[in-house]
Structure 1
Amino acid sequence: MRETRPEVFLIARPALDVDGMRGYLEAAGGASWLERRAGAGDAETLVEFAGRACYRSWEPGLNPNVTRVREDQGAYLDNVLASGHGSVLEHVNYTFAFRDVSRVFTHELVRHRAGSAFSQESLRYVRLSEIGFRVPPALEPLREQVVAIVEQLEELQVDAARELGLDDDGVPFAVKKEATSALRRLAPLGLSTDIIWTANVRTLRHVIALRTTAGAEEELRLVFDRVARIATAEAPALFQDFARADDGTWVAGHGKI
């Protein structure tokens, strides 16, 4: 058994095409807004761009109904959050690679399908020659028994592959796939696996708040505490209303948006 711990990697973030944005603004009016956003974060700028497009509020006068605009990006985005204008947050996506999380974790994560994309390691194709496993804190008093059971299941995987001759010359891939798919039924649900998750900021805010609460599953709390730390560092203005409580819960000041 390979003892594991969950790891979180941010592998993709939004990137602006500034020339395209400038071309639009020159056609629609408000090119001066883009110049004022030089050096600002791409995620925050994209959300602000989408929001201002709704009201043509790049600068006063473009929309006769708008006589005053918020110049400060942080203040503008705080107003977006406070007003619940969450659709503009959906333009910004982040992609995370979760390494050595359990299938308990992935089964709960994929419930958040709105605003998400998933690509998970497939045990129909990936043979378990080794079982990664994390002993959760609640089972620490039973550590020796837990490890012994997982090691037995790991030995079964290896022995079964040998007895079925999966590595013999000339074994068709279809045969290997069928046996591999069957053998995964004998692996623990706590087996360590990998999954790639892409979520827009609206979804990300919701999942962080939901999965770090005191009643959330322990592993999800652990992983999404790390996700929250990454997200708030990446796009602080989009998570400016979040605060981390002493028990590890991330609380959104403006609630669900």
Structure 2
Amino acid sequence: MAQTEMNVTLMAHTQTTWQLDSEWDKYKYSDGQAVALSAIRTCYSPNKPSEIVAKEGGKYFGKSATDGEDGTDADRLMRMIVRSGHTSTLEHLSFTFAIEGVSRALLSQLTRHRVGFSFSVQSQRYVKFGSENKSGGMDYVMPDSVKGHPDAEDTFRQFMKEAQDYYDCLREDGISSEDARAVLPNATATNLVLTGNLRALLDFYGKRRKGRGGQHEITELAEALRREVTAAEPWTDAFFEEA
């Protein structure tokens, strides 16, 4: 049993599989931008989706934004789409994260965001959290408001120890892990894989970002997801800023 901290890692994200002529190397765009442009322009263009980048890429990736803002005209187009609310076209970009060391309290909040998200969560039924099991007992997350207050920290750690002891006793008495887990607290740590499309991630961030009244742990998750997405697709940062 140990106190743990959140760790968020981007495992995978949208990549293109098509091959374009070498002439396209002069244009700087990401795979995500290519997919987004294809989806957006398919709604308005007579060209086929597979032809959009080849036939229209120069117009959008090869020219400066015509709205007076930064980037290319592709950036201008994507800004227009987001600000107009036509964000279904961003659902074609997906991101998969490994999320580790978060509390079950956070998990119950996170899974309320169901549209556009997929979850695979560490099971308390099949993973045994006894002190003598491979897990070494339950890890736990200490709320930020408790940290830095010695008496509160001692109280919190003592309760975690007692919860572990109760779980161990139930298991020793022959109670199954799926029933013994009933004594594990909301602070118990868990791990999950989360996949979300860009539209869902922007919506999540807009609701859970710092300053919107969310609990500290979930606001930290929102910021971590933003960092991972924008590191992979830097052009999305402006949309998180406006969410």
Aligned letter for 2:235? A
> Which of residues 122, 138, 144 in structure 2 aligns to 1:137?
144
Instruction: Write the distance in 2 (CA, Å) between the matches of 1:118 and 1:199.
Output: 9
Give the C-alpha shift of residue 37 in structure 1: 7.8
5 Å matches for 1:228-243?
228-243=226-241
Give the C-alpha shift of residue 38 in structure 1: 5.4
Q: TM-score, normalised by structure 1?
A: 0.75
Instruction: Write the distance in 2 (CA, Å) between the matches of 1:231 and 1:37.
Output: 24
- Whether the 8 Å CA contact 1:99–1:193 is kept in 2: the answer is yes
Structure with max Cα Rg? 1
5 Å matches for 1:1-257?
1-19=1-19, 35=24, 39-56=28-45, 70=60, 71=63, 72=72, 73-129=74-130, 130-140=137-147, 141=149, 142-164=152-174, 179-214=176-211, 215-243=213-241, 252=242, 255=243
Instruction: Write the distance in 2 (CA, Å) between the matches of 1:107 and 1:77.
Output: 33
Aligned letter for 2:180? L
Change (3 A) 1:100 1:9: same
**Structure 2 SS opposite 1:2:** coil
Root mean square deviation, CA, Å: 2.5
Q: TM-score, normalised by structure 2?
A: 0.79
**Structure 1 SS opposite 2:43:** helix
Change (3 A) 1:51 1:57: farther
**Structure 1 SS opposite 2:118:** strand
Structure 2: tracts of 5 or more residues without a match: 53-58, 64-71, 131-136
Instruction: Write the distance in 1 (CA, Å) between the matches of 2:46 and 2:89.
Output: 15
Aligned letter for 2:143? P
Deviations 1:94-146 (A, max 9, x none): 01111010011111111111011111111111111211112212223311011
**Structure 1 SS opposite 2:169:** helix
Q: Matched residues, percent identical?
A: 24
Change (3 A) 1:79 1:36: farther
Instruction: Write the distance in 1 (CA, Å) between the matches of 2:203 and 2:24.
Output: 32
Deviates further, 233-242 or 140-149 = 233-242
Give the C-alpha shift of residue 77 in structure 1: 1.8
Structure 1: tracts of 5 or more residues without a match: 23-30, 63-68, 165-177, 244-251
Instruction: Write the distance in 1 (CA, Å) between the matches of 2:195 and 2:223.
Output: 17
